Amino acid sequence: MSRILVAMSGGVDSSVAAYLLKKAGHECIGVTMKLYENDTVAHTGHTCCSLDDIDDARMVSAKLGMDYFVYDFSERFEEEVIDKFVAYYEKGWTPNPCIDCNRYLKFEDLYTRARELDCDYIATGHYARIQYDEKLKRYALLKGPDEKKDQSYVLYSLSQEQLAHTLFPLGDLEKSEVRKIAEEAGLVNAKKHDSQDICFVPDGDYKGFLERRENKTYAEGNIVDEEGRILGRHKGAVGYTIGQRKGLGVAAGHPVYVLDKDMEKNQVVVGNKGSLKKKELDAVDFQWLSYPETDEMKVTARTRYHGAETPATLIDKKDGNITLIFDEPHGAIAKGQAVVCYDGDKVVGGGTIVASRG
41-55, 173-187, 343-357 — which is least confidently predicted? 41-55
Per-residue pLDDT at 196 exceeds 70: no
Per-residue pLDDT at 3 exceeds 90: yes
Binning pLDDT at 50, 70 and 90, where does residue 355 land? very high
Per-residue pLDDT at 197 exceeds 80: no
DSSP H helical ranges for the chain: 12-23, 51-64, 74-77, 83-90, 97-100, 110-116, 160-164, 175-185, 206-214
pLDDT at 212: 94
Binning pLDDT at 50, 70 and 90, where does residue 252 land? confident
> Of the candidates 291, 282, 272, which has an alpha carbon nearest to the alpha carbon of residue 312?
282
DSSP state at residue 320:
T
Query: Mean pLDDT over all residues of the chain?
Result: 93
Catalytic residue among 48, 49, 119, 199: 199
Residue 119 a catalytic site member: no
pLDDT at 50: 64
Catalytic residue among 48, 49, 98, 101: 101
DSSP state at residue 195:
P
Half-sphere exposure at residue 138, Cβ-oriented, CA atoms within 13 angstroms: 16
Distance CA 79, CA 102 (A): 14
Distance CA 158, CA 182 (A): 28
Distance CA 277, CA 293 (A): 28
> Of the candidates 323, 302, 299, 229, which has an alpha carbon nearest to the alpha carbon of residue 267?
229
DSSP state at residue 177:
H
Distance CA 218, CA 194 (A): 31
Residues 48-71 as b/e (b if ≥16 CB within 10 A, e otherwise) read bbbebbbebbbbbbebbebebeee
Binning pLDDT at 50, 70 and 90, where does residue 244 land? very high
What is the DSSP annotation of 204-235?
--HHHHHHHHHT--PPPEEEE-TT--EEEEES
β 27-34/67-72 pair status = parallel
Element (H, E) at 346: strand 346-357
Binning pLDDT at 50, 70 and 90, where does residue 52 land? confident
Residue 48 a catalytic site member: no
Amino acid letter for position 200: F
Are the beta carbons of 240 and 233 closer than 8 angstroms? no
Q: In what order do the strands lie in the sheet with 230-234?
A: 230-234, 221-224, 267-271, 257-262
Per-residue pLDDT at 40 exceeds 70: no
pLDDT at 194: 83
Give pLDDT tens digits for 111-166. Answer: 999 999 999 999 999 999 999 999 999 999 999 988 889 999 999 999 999 999 99
Give pLDDT tens digits for 291-332. Answer: 999 999 999 999 999 899 999 999 999 999 999 999 999 999
Average pLDDT, integer, range 55-61: 95
> Of the candidates 297, 350, 289, which has an alpha carbon nearest to the alpha carbon of residue 325?
297
pLDDT at 48: 55
